[in-house]
Structure 1
Amino acid sequence: MHIIDSHFHWWPRPFFEDLCRRTEFPRAAVNDLDGYTYMRRAEGGGNIRSWAAWYDLDEQLAHMDGLGHRVDVVSSIGPFSVYFSELEPSHGRDEAMKWNEHMAGAQRAHPGRFWASAAIPLADTGVALEVLEHAVGTLGLMGVNLPGSIGSDPNIDAPRLEPFYARLAELGVPAFLHPTDAVFADMLAGYGGALHLSLGRVIEVSVAASRLVLSGIMERHPGLKLVLSHTGGALPYQSGRMDKNTKNAKLPRPASTYLRRMYTDTVSPHSAGMRFAIEYYGIDNVMYGTDYPCWDPATCLALLDELELPEADRTKLFRTNAIRILGLKGAADAS
């Protein structure tokens, strides 16, 4: 089978080597996993530990080849996307452009096999627009990343960002909404990170997506193409509750109308969650994704087999949805 993994992470090692040279926070340090630990602030909290599998794209693609399928990948930043919005705006712009150059280089090195989305710093709207135009128009990146928060500020629906969302909708490129560790990591600390990783990230991405709905941004910009990570977080399961309790937002339609306009992946470690995501969003709005290297693609494939989907639906889920939704240039011609 020819598969596209819509939720995949590759991080360029030279970028983190540069980050290790910073003497002030946020910065990074080499860890005992042949990766890096990103440290947001001196007092701890919200650190991100990565390991070797994040950094060698050739080895990652070889791992995918070992699944017995041809697997192409769409790379997004993941929780590290918050970094670019925590810096002084001009520095955030420079760092984002440097990251995006690495992504564009990987696209050129692996045409038709690797696509990447851009880092966008959101602390300054003018900078966000500048980086967006450079990433999509100049570098040819296929989409952008939206962190679940702007640093420690959860308000990604800030009115000042309206021109950014308007331009994003006009361009028609996808925005990957992924949680960070900036908002809930301290509140849900302890248990070796189990509480935050299990619930904190799910809550953050759900709140962020809800803000884009309740603020009217999704209503005002119907072309906004939002891809929610992790089968939509908690939103599919609380859709009725949102419709019941969001009347004060004075939207012209129920909140679920906008939620169902979003797209999602299959990153849920049980088949029941995958099945419900497909039932809620519809088979045309769900894409195969594994969160690799955070999750095992072989396990994801096995769980999807439990759903016993019709062959036409499997084709959509594993490949053609991603080509259509994400606008993957060159994918249709790949063998």
Structure 2
Amino acid sequence: MKKSVLKMPIVDIHTHIYPPSYVDLLRSRKTVPYVRNFEDAPDSSRLIILPGEDDPSTPSTSRGRPIGAEYYDIKQKIAFMDQHKIDKSVISLANPWLDFLPASEAGDAARKINDDVNEICAGYPGRLYAFGTLPLSADADTIVKEVDRLSSLKYMRGVIMGTSGLGNGLDDTKLDPVWAAIEKAGQMIFLHPHYGLPKEVYGPRANEYGHVLPLALGFPLETTIAVSRMLLSGVWDRFTKLNVLLAHSGGTLPFLAGRIESCILHDGHLKKAGTRDNRRKVWDILKTNIYLDAVIYSEVGLGAAVAASGADRLLFGTDHPFFPPLEEDVEEWHSVNANYTAIAKVFDNDGRAKDVLGNNAVRILKLDE
């Protein structure tokens, strides 16, 4: 890490925690998502969050991911922050959130999780803030009530959502009351992938490649598809002040935005339907309603994110506790240093580097209040 870049404040807006109560919920389950041990890997609890990850024919190291105290012990989060010179973190529940719960249980679970996370933040005032979790398997009224309640919790700065919405995607008009409530509350949506792509697209040898294909390709493409559906369905035409922070620098959206616009322009169906012309352009929404994290690990990807949305809309993140170093006795994480290095190279240590590392997050998420 280049010390000339690491000036106060540094803010990590993409960092997850599974509160103990949530881990207990996953351990109590017998179907995906859940935490379990395997006979051929008895010393390792594995977090299984996708269908098929618990297939006995899959090599044990490809089944979910090992889950230890770094997932739920906030002291380990603080130690990680100290190790990497991070002053503030905006923590969020990681996938699969509460999407799997029955509608009758989701509202109470969301309130419990959000209260737990807010209390965790209260233990480290000025260092920890959070994105709240929504009960998206419940009815819209229950979700809206939790959106409104989050505004009363001191350390909440928005909400985290997956791409399935209420189950039919983010272009589902049944989400409109939720979008309206979030827009009215002035909350940021942190949009994060979970489901990836159907495993069949990776080919019959996919299990030989661990998690590389679904994480490197499936997650970013899931985000790109979800946001494209929001664009095509006119979400931002109806909710012009709805702000969304996209994980992993927007997936492939910055690179493909021009192609998306061209395909819209040349689509006869959209022209006949009357939805081609009277709409906001992708480029306008990227620079007005969309924010991007800087979790992209290279200056090439980061440069595309800057070109698409602007340096003033880019926010540093680590994706902790995921992607830890596999080598023993390594203190600094390669993944975090890759993001620091990319920022240093793209901005050549000018003032915009400090903005991306922290000033933007403080301003956008009001972390100085």
| Same fold flag (TM > 0.5) | yes
Q: 1:36 offset after TM fit, Å? A: 4.5
From 133, 142, 165, the equivalent of 1:119 is: 133
| 1:253 matches 2:270 | no
Moved more, 277-286 or 25-34: 25-34
From 80, 97, 107, the equivalent of 2:111 is: 97
C-alpha contact (below 8 Å) 1:265/1:287 kept by paired residues: yes
In the alignment, the residues of structure 2 paired with residue 12 and residue 30 of structure 1 have an alpha-carbon distance, to the nearest angstrom, of 20
- Structure 1 residue identity aligned to 2:149: H
CA-based RMSD of the aligned residues comes to: 2.5
> Structure 1 237/33 Cα, relative in aligned 2: closer, same or farther at 3 Å?
farther
| Secondary structure of the structure 2 residue equivalent to 1:143 | strand
Q: Could you report, residue by residue, the CA deviation over 1:195-228 in whole angstroms, capped at 9, with x for unpaired residues? A: 1111111111111111221111111111111000
From 212, 215, 219, the equivalent of 1:194 is: 212
> Structure 1 186/149 Cα, relative in aligned 2: closer, same or farther at 3 Å?
farther
Q: Which residue of 2 aligns with 1:280?
A: 308
In the alignment, the residues of structure 2 paired with residue 308 and residue 24 of structure 1 have an alpha-carbon distance, to the nearest angstrom, of 46
What are the equivalent positions in structure 2 for 1:1-335 lying under 5 Å apart?
Answer: 1-2=7-8, 3-23=10-30, 26-29=33-36, 36-39=46-49, 44=54, 48-52=64-68, 53-67=70-84, 69-81=85-97, 84-123=98-137, 124-138=139-153, 140-150=155-165, 153-181=167-195, 184-185=198-199, 187-188=201-202, 190=207, 191-247=209-265, 248=270, 249-250=275-276, 251-261=278-288, 262-295=290-323, 296-330=335-369
Q: Could you report, residue by residue, the CA deviation over 1:265-286 in whole angstroms, capped at 9, with x for unpaired residues? A: 1101212111221122111110
Identical columns (%) = 26
Which ranges of structure 1 fall in alignment gaps of 5 or more residues?
A: 331-335
In the alignment, the residues of structure 1 paired with residue 67 and residue 53 of structure 2 have an alpha-carbon distance, to the nearest angstrom, of 22
Q: 1:60 offset after TM fit, Å? A: 2.0
Q: 1:12 offset after TM fit, Å? A: 1.3
In the alignment, the residues of structure 1 paired with residue 253 and residue 53 of structure 2 have an alpha-carbon distance, to the nearest angstrom, of 32
| Secondary structure of the structure 1 residue equivalent to 2:129 | strand
| Secondary structure of the structure 1 residue equivalent to 2:354 | helix
Give TM-score, length-normalised by structure 1. 0.88
C-alpha contact (below 8 Å) 1:75/1:114 kept by paired residues: yes
Q: Could you report, residue by residue, the CA deviation over 1:12-33 in whole angstroms, capped at 9, with x for unpaired residues? A: 1332123312345543335767
In the alignment, the residues of structure 2 paired with residue 310 and residue 101 of structure 1 have an alpha-carbon distance, to the nearest angstrom, of 39
| Secondary structure of the structure 2 residue equivalent to 1:85 | coil
- Structure 1 residue identity aligned to 2:336: P
C-alpha contact (below 8 Å) 1:219/1:258 kept by paired residues: no
- Structure 2 residue identity aligned to 1:289: G
- Structure 2 residue identity aligned to 1:313: R
In the alignment, the residues of structure 2 paired with residue 242 and residue 233 of structure 1 have an alpha-carbon distance, to the nearest angstrom, of 14
Q: 1:47 offset after TM fit, Å? A: 7.1
Q: 1:243 offset after TM fit, Å? A: 0.8
Moved more, 111-120 or 210-219: 210-219
Give TM-score, length-normalised by structure 2. 0.80
- Structure 2 residue identity aligned to 1:292: H
Moved more, 135-144 or 98-107: 135-144
C-alpha contact (below 8 Å) 1:90/1:127 kept by paired residues: no
Which ranges of structure 2 fall in alignment gaps of 5 or more residues?
A: 1-6, 56-61, 324-334
Q: 1:34 offset after TM fit, Å? A: 6.0
- Structure 2 residue identity aligned to 1:37: L
In the alignment, the residues of structure 2 paired with residue 50 and residue 269 of structure 1 have an alpha-carbon distance, to the nearest angstrom, of 22
Q: Could you report, residue by residue, the CA deviation over 1:228-269 in whole angstroms, capped at 9, with x for unpaired residues? A: 011111111011111111242434232222133200111012
In the alignment, the residues of structure 1 paired with residue 183 and residue 222 of structure 2 have an alpha-carbon distance, to the nearest angstrom, of 23
Q: 1:133 offset after TM fit, Å? A: 1.8
Aligned residues: 326
In the alignment, the residues of structure 2 paired with residue 323 and residue 13 of structure 1 have an alpha-carbon distance, to the nearest angstrom, of 28
- Structure 2 residue identity aligned to 1:284: D
| Secondary structure of the structure 1 residue equivalent to 2:279 | coil
| Secondary structure of the structure 1 residue equivalent to 2:245 | strand
In the alignment, the residues of structure 2 paired with residue 220 and residue 301 of structure 1 have an alpha-carbon distance, to the nearest angstrom, of 37
Specify the structure having the higher radius of gyration (Cα): 2
C-alpha contact (below 8 Å) 1:266/1:287 kept by paired residues: yes
Moved more, 18-27 or 198-207: 18-27
In the alignment, the residues of structure 2 paired with residue 70 and residue 178 of structure 1 have an alpha-carbon distance, to the nearest angstrom, of 22
